[in-house]
Copies of this chain bind each other. A is one copy, B any other.
Amino acid sequence: MKSDRDRSIRLLWEPPAEATRGPKAALSQARVVEAAIKVADAEGVDALTMRRVAETLGNTAMSLYRHVPGKSELLDLMVDAVWAETEHTPKGPWRAGLEFFARQMWAMYRAHPWMLQLTTSRRMPGPHAMTRQDAAYAVVSELGLASEEIVAVVTAVAQFVDGVGRTMADRVQAERETGVSEEDWWNGREALWQHFTPDRLPMMTHLWNSGGFERPLDEFEFGLARLLDGLAVFIEAEERPLVRRETCL
């Protein structure tokens, strides 16, 4: 239990020691992680099984366990490897910097939607993810905000991108599973629309009839602009009320 976590930390933060004895390794931790990422990219998170990853490498499932303690740790390594892919430091004034940070996260999630579908409960923080987060803090560090406020601002942006990304990722997966695009799916559901009567759902039918769902606004662009506007109001305010977390969770 305890050593479990410590081992995961070492796994992520310390480079794997290379063996001097034994046969030359065909596999390596990096190769396993790389193969797993490829599988997840191409076939989705459901196809990400140890057997499938091993198969793409031409080995058996158990061979992976020589290079990775278990599936959970493999997921940790995959996530941090993706965070490492784009290691640019946002620059500029706070708003441009946060926007850059958000767009980079967004691009990352679009390239690897499975990242948001892994159970994130107590996922181990890796060095590359932390580095990116550190850079984001730096962007808002010169505004005279209190420490808690700096953390809150960056958290808000990151959480926003996570939220939009997750619905995007779910859509991707749904399309892969069913083979039906989002639009076709909604259109094809007469069985569903017949229940959307004006007396039951007046606004939804009205919005539907006036085309509100046909050409939706870009959720990422819309939400990001609103959020940054709201943060601007906060940052430029004379007084900032602080609401601390009271409940435990």
How far apart are the CA atoms of A130 and B195 in the complex, in Å? 11
Nearest chain B CB to A42's CB is how many angstroms away?
A: 16
Instruction: List residues of chain A with CB under 8 Å of any chain B CB.
Output: 1, 5-6, 9-10, 13, 110, 117, 119-122, 125, 127, 130-131, 133-135, 137-138, 141, 146-152, 155-156, 159-160, 162-164, 166-168, 170-175, 177-178, 181-182, 185, 189, 191-192, 195-196, 200-204, 206-207, 210-213, 215-219, 221-223, 225-231, 233-234, 242-246, 248-249
When the two chains form the complex, which single residue of B215, B227, B242, B245 contacts A245, counting CB atoms closer than 8 Å?
B215
On whether the beta carbons of B226 and A234 are closer than 8 Å, the reply is yes
Given contacts A177-B121, A178-B122, contact A216 B191 (CB under 8 A): no
List the 5 closest pairs (A to B, CB-CB), nearest first. Answer: A147-B212, A163-B163, A230-B230, A122-B174, A226-B230
List B contacts of A163 (CB < 8 A): 159-160, 162-163, 166
Nearest chain B CB to A229's CB is how many angstroms away?
A: 4
Given contacts A170-B122, A233-B229, contact A152 B243 (CB under 8 A): no
How far apart are the CA atoms of A138 and B205 in the complex, in Å? 12
A-B contact pairs, 18 of them (CB 8 A): A110-B249, A119-B170, A120-B167, A121-B173, A121-B177, A133-B204, A134-B201, A134-B204, A137-B203, A146-B212, A148-B211, A148-B212, A160-B223, A166-B166, A168-B249, A216-B245, A217-B244, A226-B233
